[in-house]
Structures are given as structure tokens and as C-alpha cells.
Amino acid sequence: MRPGLVGVGRRYGSSCRSFRWLALILVLLALPSGASTGADEENKHQLRLEFPRAPRHDGTYRNLDPEFHRASHWTRLRFYLLSVAAMAKGERPFVPLPTAVPDVTALRQNHHEPTVMWVGHSTLLVQLDGVNFLTDPTWSNRAGPLSGTVGVRRFTPPGIPFKDLPPIDFVLISHDHYDHLDEPTVRQLARAFNPRFVVPLGLKAWLGDRGFTNVSELDWGESISIKGLEVVCTPAQHGSGRTLTDGGWRLWSSWVVVGTKRFYFAGDTGYAPHFEMIGRVLGPFDLAALPIGSYTPRIIAKPIHMSPEDALRAFRDLRASKFIGIHWGTFELAQEPYHEPPRRTVDEAARLGLDPRSILLPKPGGLLTW
């Protein structure tokens, strides 16, 4: 680990309609349920003294908690079928969130200030030390297979049009679920900017099979240097899979980016002790992006999705200065009212006595300095 990078090394660092609904069921069941160069390998660092290698048994990756388990397939299927039926009948209306007008000029001219823009769901546009990067980018109207033509519908548009993005240097992908790894968006990004895609184990081969070659793949505890920033792959508690048969084939992760400031991206995760470990080894953080939506019903969601209360507990474990809520208000995924997560976040922050200025819940497209 290079000791000059802000202490990372120091810390060990009809029929058609029926088909659509059938496809949606398959997507929902999977949702929460290229070659690198020699230079990539030379620049890859390890934090093995603190972070364990991702557990893998019988060809599938596992979570750190040996007692981790999800609800039964029957329980999950019953819930998803009821959710699909409710959406089909219009019983769960979704109204687009109000959006901000993105300051495209400021984005393109900024080469010094650390900024963040919530684009929607788990997509953030982050600027740090003159470097632009995205997290789990998706600009598609649906999260699902067949190039996003089927699957859960997007009801809030992206906070910034794709054409208005500044040059993107690299992209962080947390796992392969459709609402986090959107193949049409990845193709757009590759054509427009040829950014480095930084992914957890197993996804380099998946991307390589689809023609993407500018890919770096990391295990938990490994890091890589990109344009003066140190990017660290860190644990999460979740799962993976894009079909009913490939669950656990590819790893899931959270990410840390270290420059003159420290940024944490949780990806998709349940609350677990890994937050305290990450905060102890790599914290404190200037900004932590944590999911606050898709937490009901708890019997299904609790192991893999945090509630707002869980997210604020993780925020304190990470020893972060600012919190930005993600994974809400964008796709027809959650059973809870889509406007509930930010309200519960604000209420819990007040109960905990946190400075309200530390809790960021921006409109999509709003540009904030951190």
C-alpha cells in the first residue's frame, strides 16, 4: 500500500403484458436475492491484515456472518407475486420525486471542489481531486433483463441527462443485480468515456463476455490506484444473481475512495459488523453514501437491506461526518411508501441528536459540496 495516500497504508488500509409481468417476477426474485492489464495487477494492493477474503463455498460467494440466511424461496415468491399484482392493479401509485436543475457548467468547470450529485437510486456522480466517478450507474427506464425492456419501472427520471455528464474517469459497481448493474448504461459509458470499471470478483468475466475490457476486479481488502485516488474494495452483506440459477456466482461489495477526502459507498447491504470494521480500518469518512429504502417486509429485507435506522447506525459505525441517503425513490421496488425513507431518516437523526446539516437528502440533480 502506498503510504502517501492519506493514510490508507497507515491503517492497513395481453400476451405481451403477461410476458412483461412474468419477466418482472423473475427480475424481482433475482434483485435482492474482460481481462485486466499487467499494470492493474502491479498496482493492486492488499489489506489482508484487517479484511478477510470473501468466503466462497461450492462455487458461490457467501457473507461474512456464518449465521446469515434469507427468507425461504416460498416466502419471497409469495411477497413478489402480491407486489406484482398490486402494481398491475395500480394499487401502489408512484409519483416522480421533484428534481433539481443540474448545474452542468459547474460540473464541467470544477477541478478542485469535492462534490456529489444524487442521480437516483444508488447512482451518484462524485467529484474528488479533479477526478469524476459514478457509483452503480443506471439511466434506463426499467431495471431488468433484455436491455432494460422488462423489469421494475423507473418512476423518477435521472437527475442529470446522460448527455450532460462530465468526462467520467471510473465507475464503481457494487454487485450484479439489475438495479445496480445496468448493461445499457454500461455500454453508453464505455462508448462515451471509456472509463475504468471497478468491480468485485466474478464481474470481470461477465463484462468481458460482453466486450468490456477496461475492467479492474478486486476482492474484499484489495485496492487499486486510479488517477491519484486509492479505491478499496470492502465487504457488504447482500447477494448476487441475474437469473434464478446464478445466485452467488459473483461477489458483492462496498467501496472506499481515498484522496484529500474519504468517501464510502455502501452499495446494497444489510446492517452487519462490517461497518465498524471499515470505519476502524479506513475511517473516519468525510461522506458516507448509505441505502435507506426497500426495507419492507422485514422478514425478507432485513438481512440484505437496511432501514433508515440501520443506515444511521452504520453511519456512526463508519465515523463519518456527512451522510447521503441512496437506494430510494426511483424504482418500483419497495413495499414501504416511497416517500417514507427520508422522513424516517430525518426523524431518527433528530432522535440520535445528530447535526441536521450532516444529513444530506438532496433532490435528484442537486449538486452538493462535501
pLDDT digits (tens, 9 = 90+) for 161-216: 999 999 999 999 999 999 999 999 999 999 999 999 999 999 999 999 999 999 99
Residue 225 within any structural domain of the chain? yes
Give the structural domain span for 118. 9-369
Q: For the domain that residue 278 is a member of, what is the CATH number?
A: 3.60.15.10
pLDDT digits (tens, 9 = 90+) for 43-98: 566 654 467 889 998 889 999 987 777 766 666 666 666 666 666 666 567 899 99
Give pLDDT, residue 83.
66
Residue 363 within any structural domain of the chain? yes
Higher pLDDT, 84 or 322: 322
Residue 207 within any structural domain of the chain? yes
Least confident span in 48-57, 276-285, 297-306, 321-330: 48-57
Average pLDDT over residues 289-302: 91
Residue 241 within any structural domain of the chain? yes
Give yes or no for residue 32 having a pLDDT over 50.
no
Look at the block and give the residue holding cell 502517501: 4
Look at the block and give the residue holding cell 491484515: 49
Q: Do β-strands 56-57 and 60-61 pair in parallel, antiparallel, or remain unpaired? A: antiparallel
Residue 4 within any structural domain of the chain? no
Average pLDDT, the chain: 86
Average pLDDT over residues 244-272: 95
Residue 52 within any structural domain of the chain? yes
Give pLDDT, residue 152.
86
Give pLDDT, residue 298.
82
Residue 348 within any structural domain of the chain? yes
Residue 3 within any structural domain of the chain? no
Number of domains in the chain: 1
Interatomic CA distance for residues 243 and 250, integer angstroms: 12
Average pLDDT over residues 19-25: 37
Q: What is the 3-state secondary structure (H, E, C) of the chain?
A: CCCCCCCCHHHCCCHHHHHHHHHHHHHHHHCCCCCCCHHHHHHCEECCCCCCCCCEECCEECCCCCCCCCCCHHHHHHHHHHHHHHHHCCCCCCCCCCCCCCCHHHHHHCCCCCEEEEEECCEEEEEECCEEEEECCCCCCEECHHHHCCCEEECCCCCCCHHHCCCCCEEECCCCCCCCCCHHHHHHHHHHHCCEEEEECCHHHHHHHCCCCCEEEECCCEEEEECCEEEEEECCCCCCCCCCCCCCCCCCCEEEEECCCEEEECCCCCCCCHHHHHHHHHCCEEEEEEECCCCCCHHHHCCCCCCHHHHHHHHHHCCEEEEEEECCCCECCCCCCCCHHHHHHHHHHHHCCCCHHHEECCCCCCEEEC
Give pLDDT, residue 84.
63
Q: CA dist 220 to 22, 41, 70, Å?
A: 35, 15, 22
